[in-house]
Amino acid sequence: MGGWPTSPNCASNSPQLDKPPYPRDTAPMFTTLLQVALGGAIGASARYLTSVGTMRLIGPGFPWATLTVNILGSFFMGALVVYLAHKGGMKAAPFLMTGILGGFTTFSAFSLDAFTLYERGQTSLAVTYVLASVILSLMAIVAGILVTRALIQ
């Protein structure tokens, strides 16, 4: 029978059974949490500034700011995942990827924007927005990966 042992006496199936599934020292986790929090503050501030700038440049009517941050965030996520893996810098991932890019991009705002367009009776614009967001963000992450791979090789 496979699977996890059901008692400490079955330790022969899992040499790691005597170790806790998490580190007892919470200092590294707290440091990582601070990195994510700081990155999130930076990313959220950048998203806010992008929203203000986009509203001033283009005006209301279509959620250009959310579309912009999600596409840019997807591009940078693709670029960072390749770059950090190539340089062995995955320790920076919580700050850069979870924190900054997590704070910068926003699926909840995307969902609200799509629903608001739909609720206003702009169904075709809502569908266009959803499709553009998903397709362009996927294209952006692929572009970020390919561009960064080409630059670091």
Q: What is the value of pTM for the model shown?
A: 0.69
pLDDT on residue 106: 76
Q: Answer whether residue 15 is part of any domain.
A: no
Domain of residue 52, residue span: 26-152
Overall number of domains in the chain: 1
Q: What is the pLDDT of residues 107-123, one digit of tens each?
A: 877 887 899 899 999 99
Q: Answer whether residue 146 is part of any domain.
A: yes
Mean pLDDT check: name the lowest of 27-31, 119-123, 128-132: 27-31
* pLDDT tier, 4 (very low <50, low <70, confident <90, very high otherwise): very low
Q: Answer whether residue 94 is part of any domain.
A: yes
CA-nearest of 62, 55, 47 to 128 is 62
Q: Answer whether residue 78 is part of any domain.
A: yes
Q: Answer whether residue 49 is part of any domain.
A: yes
CA-nearest of 98, 90, 92 to 73 is 98
Q: Answer whether residue 17 is part of any domain.
A: no
Contact 117, 125 (CB under 8 A): yes
